[in-house]
Structure 1
Amino acid sequence: MVAAPARASSRRFHALNAAQCLMQTRPPLRKIIIDNVFWFMIALGLSIFVWVTATTQSDPIETWRMVERVPIRFTPDPGLLITNQNELTTTAQVQLRSPRSVRQIMSGEDVQVWADLTGLGPGEYTIPLSARVAPDRRATVINTSPSQVTVTLELEASQLKPVEALVNAEPAPVVRLDGIRLDTLQVLITGPASRVEQVAKAVLPLDLSNARSTFETDIRPIPVNLDGQTVTGINLSPSVIRVTVEISPRSDVRELRVLPDLIGQLPEGYVLSPNFDYEPTSIIVSGPSEVLTTLPDTILTTPIDLSGRRQDFVVDVTAQLPDPRLLILSGHTIRVSVGVTAPTSTRQFDRVPVEIIGLREGLSAQLLPQEVTVLVTGAQPLLTALTPDRVRVAVDLGALTAPGTYRVEPLASVDANGELSISVLPDEVDVQIGEIAESTPETERISG
């Protein structure tokens, strides 16, 4: 009976000892988790590396410069203006880094470039440029060109200035300027304080030289200083002003059209050309109203005789007033340009001998051909009076100094008063230059 409990106790001891041995040989759970996480991170890193490598090879990263220039944004604080706009660089070139696929779809609208003027007061500043790319574009700005800009800031000012009409050209004497009415007598000048202070007034330039009756027009006011010089770089409100110019006719003056009085006949074969003009085409006369009302609309000049005229000419004449009580106010002298021409034709002169001039001493010359054809083009009357003996053709051999065969251009001339065009057929002749043999006593005895 005693042996049974002892065996049971022995079995529990061995079981407990076996459990302890088993626990000592099994790794802890924490170590298992750490080992698994470590290998998982290694596998994840390798997979990311493989993905990045594959993506880079198919869509490589590139550094490139945009062809399109990007506008630079300038936003000064309220109450300040940029006064060096004319000298200011308003666009920039941007260098980017991005995948090739992004580069292919990028445009200037995807990039913003600006100069930060926040908190700056009046003065001159050199501001670095900032740039950024739209969030949906996977690109990074590397740099901009230029990298900085110089900005001049000035306080903004506004002042009311008077408006005046400025008549640059008075109306014709036949009308009277009764008055000029403006829709507004003041304009608001806005801009940099230094320029606004220069403005003395705004003027409305008017040219009334062709005005004959009352009219309305819209004119842009021009800001000027005390010396009448234009002030630029400012804004005017309103920018356009309606102007009414009141003009009425005068009863003591009248405008008349003038017409040159051509008399006589041109020589036979000559006619008037389109080159006919005269200035002025109208005159202004004054006199009693009862005389002015009876005048025709057109009056003639003093006569211009065409007899014997064979070319263009200019002559000064005056208008013929039908009443001694009339007085010319403008257009005292009328300059008339008269064009005279004749129908042109061509006349042919055959077998005109070619003369030799300039041949050096000791040389002889033979021509082939010795006669040529001359074509003369000009006014028909000149050609009709032209005779063959007044047509000459020559070759100048002064430049030929050695024996040989040469081609020389013949020169033609015509003894006539008038403009003529001359051509020679053929336009070149052959010239054979030789030496003249010197005579000696022996040759003379043989020849005797």
Structure 2
Amino acid sequence: MIRGFLDNLGSALLALLLAVMVWVVAITDGNPVQAKAFPSEGVPIQVLNVPDGFVLYESIVQRAMIILRAPSTTWDTLNAGDLVVFVDLAKTEPGIHDVPVQVRCARCPQERASIVRIDPARITVRLEELLEQRLQVLVDVKDRPPQGYTIETTSSNPEYVKVTGPRSQVEQVARVVAPFLTKGAKAEMVQPITVLPIDGQGRTVSNVEISPSTVDVRVVIGELLGYKEVSVRPNIQGSPAPGYYMSNISVSPSTLTVFGMPATSDKAPGVLETEPIDVAGAKVTVLRRVAVIVPDGVTVLGGDPNVLVRVEISAQQGGGSLVIEPTIRGLDAGLTASVSPKTVQVILSGPLPLLQGLKPSDVPVLVDLSGRGPGTYKLAPAVEAPESFKVVSLVPDTVEVVLAVAPTATPSPTPSPTPKKR
């Protein structure tokens, strides 16, 4: 009896094993296992447990490629956030180390996913003592102010910054510089400037952090003793022709720097006039190079007391109207056209001197009949205004055109000859 029971148990276990194998094959066929990189772009490598008082010589910017093996349905539910790729630097001593890259995936077991390979499997890190220094900001003015001006003071806010990083790099920082450009300024300037860590050879030091990284730089620029900046005022004489006006006046340069004995230059007026510039009767822009009248005892810096004066002359604008008979274009042969109304009113704006001499023949009003057959049409005429003129309105803005077939001329009968009497 026991023998029979054992035979039956063996058969049952064999049947159960076969059933499990059939189930596994069926499941696998419907949900095949695949191995591939996930995610395709890789995962950033994190650095964990850096010992207190130490820092990496340079940041790790590598990404690790993770090869996972999982059923095909798993790829739809797994996401990149499920993977944490890291190196653990706990208890690591200063120096260069070859450390393993590790992966943590909390959802992988329940998703029946396994890690096949990590690439790279190991990376090299350099651990150094963290060093911090407090350095004063040096304002480095890269250019010079204009002649007659000088840089009086420079300062930064804050005056000191903190430099941190690996000891080997921080120790190379000889100074922290704020490069500054005056760009021809003649007064006080305040600008935010990004500071740079510089070594003893004038090169920028990498792998260090500066806090704050930007400071407000103040540069005070003042006039040298005996120098004075003065404005130039053009001396315009006369008036443009009737119907014209001075639309703009410009001077280049608009200021000059004069110098002399301090007692003399300080008494020089703040505005100097030019020699007279005559624009009487002008209808176009006047361009003249003239001398500036400089008082005794002072000299123009650079030795050239001349400036270029530009007086722009523009025509006064006005408005007017003309009554014009439209001109027909594109009328097919064999057709006649009649336009109603016979004339239209064109309202224009433009230069007043030209407007006063404008004639109807100067402003064509065109009605295009190209490709049109017999019938009645409402058409908008086109106005060809001369250059410098603008069409304000057209009254009326449409005309009625009637196209008809031209009548065919009937030939006159030839008279019969009268018989002569014999």
The two structures have a TM-score, normalised by structure 1, of 0.52
- In the TM superposition, residue 260 of structure 1 has moved relative to its aligned partner by 9.7
Maintained 8 Å contact 1:89/1:149 = no
1:206 is matched with which residue: 180, 190, 195? 180
Deviations 1:97-128 (A, max 9, x none): 111111233332222323344424312x4444
Query: 1:290-329 residue pairs with structure 2 within 5 A?
Result: 295=269, 297=271, 321=294, 323-329=295-301
Query: 1:242-281 residue pairs with structure 2 within 5 A?
Result: 242-246=216-220, 252-256=226-230
1:191 aligns with 2:165: yes
Deviations 1:278-321 (A, max 9, x none): 97664322246776666464x678999xxxxxxxxxx9998663
Query: 1:2-41 residue pairs with structure 2 within 5 A?
Result: 27-28=1-2, 34=6, 37-41=9-13
1:105 aligns with 2:80: no
1:133 aligns with 2:105: yes
| Residues 296 and 160 (structure 1), Cα distance of their counterparts in 2 relative to 1, 3 Å cut | closer
2:126 is matched with which residue: 152, 162, 166? 152
SS at 2:138 equivalent: strand
| Residues 250 and 72 (structure 1), Cα distance of their counterparts in 2 relative to 1, 3 Å cut | same
- In the TM superposition, residue 141 of structure 1 has moved relative to its aligned partner by 2.0
| Residues 330 and 149 (structure 1), Cα distance of their counterparts in 2 relative to 1, 3 Å cut | farther
Query: 1:34-433 residue pairs with structure 2 within 5 A?
Result: 34=6, 37-65=9-37, 66-75=39-48, 77-78=50-51, 79-85=53-59, 90-118=62-90, 119-123=92-96, 125-135=97-107, 136-172=110-146, 177-208=151-182, 209-213=184-188, 216-246=190-220, 252-256=226-230, 282-287=255-260, 295=269, 297=271, 321=294, 323-329=295-301, 332=304
- In the TM superposition, residue 195 of structure 1 has moved relative to its aligned partner by 1.3
Maintained 8 Å contact 2:100/2:123 = yes
Partners of 1:54 and 1:36 lie apart in 2 by 27
- In the TM superposition, residue 60 of structure 1 has moved relative to its aligned partner by 0.8
- In the TM superposition, residue 172 of structure 1 has moved relative to its aligned partner by 4.4
Which one-letter code corresponds to 1:97 in the other structure?
R
Partners of 1:317 and 1:145 lie apart in 2 by 78
Maintained 8 Å contact 2:259/2:265 = no
Deviations 1:40-64 (A, max 9, x none): 4333323322221221121111122
Maintained 8 Å contact 1:176/1:249 = yes
Partners of 2:259 and 2:99 lie apart in 1 by 71
The two structures have a TM-score, normalised by structure 2, of 0.54
Q: Which residue of 1 aligns with 2:347?
A: none
Partners of 2:251 and 2:15 lie apart in 1 by 102
Partners of 1:242 and 1:41 lie apart in 2 by 84
SS at 2:81 equivalent: helix
Q: Which residue of 2 aligns with 1:381?
A: none
For structure 1, list consecutive stretches of 5 or more residues without a partner in the other structure.
1-26, 263-276, 305-314, 339-448
Partners of 1:327 and 1:155 lie apart in 2 by 63
Partners of 2:265 and 2:150 lie apart in 1 by 20
| Residues 324 and 99 (structure 1), Cα distance of their counterparts in 2 relative to 1, 3 Å cut | same
Maintained 8 Å contact 2:158/2:215 = yes
| Residues 189 and 330 (structure 1), Cα distance of their counterparts in 2 relative to 1, 3 Å cut | farther
Partners of 1:252 and 1:107 lie apart in 2 by 75
Partners of 1:251 and 1:94 lie apart in 2 by 73
Which one-letter code corresponds to 2:73 in the other structure?
S
| Residues 42 and 190 (structure 1), Cα distance of their counterparts in 2 relative to 1, 3 Å cut | same
- In the TM superposition, residue 235 of structure 1 has moved relative to its aligned partner by 1.1
Partners of 2:34 and 2:251 lie apart in 1 by 74
Partners of 1:254 and 1:76 lie apart in 2 by 65
| Residues 114 and 325 (structure 1), Cα distance of their counterparts in 2 relative to 1, 3 Å cut | same
More helix by share: 1
SS at 2:20 equivalent: helix
Partners of 1:240 and 1:196 lie apart in 2 by 18
Maintained 8 Å contact 1:77/1:120 = no
- In the TM superposition, residue 143 of structure 1 has moved relative to its aligned partner by 2.0
Q: CA RMSD in A?
A: 5.0
- In the TM superposition, residue 197 of structure 1 has moved relative to its aligned partner by 1.0
Partners of 2:251 and 2:72 lie apart in 1 by 73
Partners of 2:56 and 2:72 lie apart in 1 by 39
Which one-letter code corresponds to 1:107 in the other structure?
N
Maintained 8 Å contact 2:44/2:61 = no
Partners of 2:274 and 2:32 lie apart in 1 by 89
Maintained 8 Å contact 1:181/1:243 = yes
| Residues 173 and 51 (structure 1), Cα distance of their counterparts in 2 relative to 1, 3 Å cut | same
Partners of 1:202 and 1:168 lie apart in 2 by 15
Which one-letter code corresponds to 1:68 in the other structure?
E
